[in-house]
Amino acid sequence: MNQSLFLEYDEAKIPVIRNPYERLVSLYRDSWDWYGFDKWVLNNEIRSQADLYSHYEKVITLEYWEQDCIALDIEPIDSSILMKQTISNDYKRWYTNKSLIIVSKIIKPDIDTYGYSY
């Protein structure tokens, strides 16, 4: 399972972050290991985006990548990778109170670093 997402530009790459709650559901759905969301989260070593991208100074968001690229003066080589991402707009329906507790350690760094909310 590839947990990282990058957009390439000028022989470099910039990390693409997304809502951590939505990200976990999308990773689960893309895994095809559908044996229960809570069990899947517990059985996989999922890293926070804050951890994955800690050595990068700048990031862009999946939700606003075009505006972020303009603001950072970045011209993507190929943005089609972003168009191919599974986006779970209904991510909240996957979470129970138990699920929220299970994922809290994984997503806390993303919430603290990038300011997302449920």
One-letter amino acid at 115 equals G
pTM attached to this predicted model: 0.87
Rounded CA separation 99/63 (Å): 24
Domain boundaries, given as residue ranges, for the chain: 6-113
Cβ pair 7, 19 in contact under 8 A: no
Q: What is the pLDDT of residues 45-91, one digit of tens each?
A: 999 999 999 999 999 999 999 999 999 999 998 888 887 777 888 89
CA atoms within 13 A on the CB side of 25: 18
pLDDT at 96: 95
